[in-house]
């Protein structure tokens, strides 16, 4: 919305489509970066922290679903718009479950693509780098938490979980939601407890992460 326009990362392995998207989006005032495969996409997403990612499902190597899961696992919540050639419902569902925020079937009208990107940037948290609560803060780009001046290195999962807690302090994070957001659906629920434990130890006293028995965990002073 500001002078430079929102930054969009386009991930697609098809050069003509890349060019088309880049041109269209630029013309609409977005500033566009392009990545041609999953690995490049992850690297670029972490480096430049775009406002939206437009992600093709079908790619050689790591496909769009995997890229999206990896992003979420790293704790990135950047809105993802998934592009696919297939229209079968199970695929659409899988896309959303992988953590995508929206879904568009090829071929699409460019107007619609733009409207959807706008909808995502409008509602998405503006790619905040830093989350805070009480004397705790978390820098997502470096995965470093700070508590009372002391800085604490976190692993990917630890940071993703803490982020989830920080995005909604004083409200309960259920195991289900944590599993869904931070892990791929196949993990055993206990893994959440395990990581909560690690975070508690790392974050020190007084405790900030509270258990709500039978429900989940919560951040509160």
Partner DNA sequence: AGGCGGTGTCAAGCTTCTTTCAGGCTTCGT
Partner DNA sequence: ACGAAGCCTGAAAGAAGCTTGACACCGCCT
Interface residues with DNA (CB under 7 A) are 153, 155-158, 183-184, 186-188, 190-191, 193-197, 200-201, 211, 213-217
β-pairing, 216-219 vs 209-212, is antiparallel
Q: Is-contact 80 65, C-beta < 8 A?
A: no
Q: Does 177 bind a second copy (CB under 8 A)?
A: yes
Give the E-state strand segments of the chain in sequence order.
7-11, 31-35, 52-56, 80-84, 102-105, 130-133, 136-139, 144-147, 150-153, 173-174, 209-212, 216-219
Q: Does 187 bind a second copy (CB under 8 A)?
A: no
Q: Which does 158 bind (CB under 5 to 8 A by kind): a second copy, DNA, none?
A: DNA
Q: Which does 101 bind (CB under 5 to 8 A by kind): DNA, a second copy, none?
A: a second copy
| The one among 12, 181, 183, 192 contacting a second copy by CB under 8 A | 181
Cα angle value 121/123/126 (rounded, 5°): 60
Least Å from the CB of residue 201 to DNA: 7
Q: Which does 197 bind (CB under 5 to 8 A by kind): a second copy, DNA, none?
A: DNA
Q: Does 1 bind a second copy (CB under 8 A)?
A: yes
Nearer to a second copy, 47 or 170 (CB): 170
Measured in residues, the chain has a length of 221
């Amino acid at each position: 919305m500001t002078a430079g326009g929102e930054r969009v990362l386009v991930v697609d392995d098809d050069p003509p489509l890349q060019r088309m998207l880049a041109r269209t989006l630029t013309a609409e005032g977005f500033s566009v970066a392009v990545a041609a495969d999953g690995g490049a996409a992850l690297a670029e997403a972490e480096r430049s922290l775009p406002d939206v990612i437009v992600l093709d499902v079908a790619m050689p190597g790591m496909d769009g679903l995997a890229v999206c899961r990896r992003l979420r696992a790293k704790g990135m919540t950047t809105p993802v718009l998934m592009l696919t050639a297939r229209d079968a419902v199970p695929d659409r569902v899988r896309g959303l479950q992988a953590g995508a925020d929206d879904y568009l079937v090829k071929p699409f009208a460019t107007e619609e693509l733009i409207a959807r990107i706008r909808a995502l940037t409008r509602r998405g948290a503006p790619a905040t780098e830093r989350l805070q609560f009480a004397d705790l803060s978390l820098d997502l780009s470096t995965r470093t938490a700070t508590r009372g001046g002391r800085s604490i290195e976190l692993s990917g999962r630890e940071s993703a979980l803490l982020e989830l807690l920080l995005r909604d302090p004083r409200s309960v994070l259920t195991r289900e939601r944590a599993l869904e957001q931070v892990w791929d659906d196949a993990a055993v629920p206990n893994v959440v407890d395990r990581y909560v434990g690690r975070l508690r130890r790392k974050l020190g006293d007084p405790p900030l992460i509270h258990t709500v028995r039978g429900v989940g965990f919560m951040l509160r002073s």
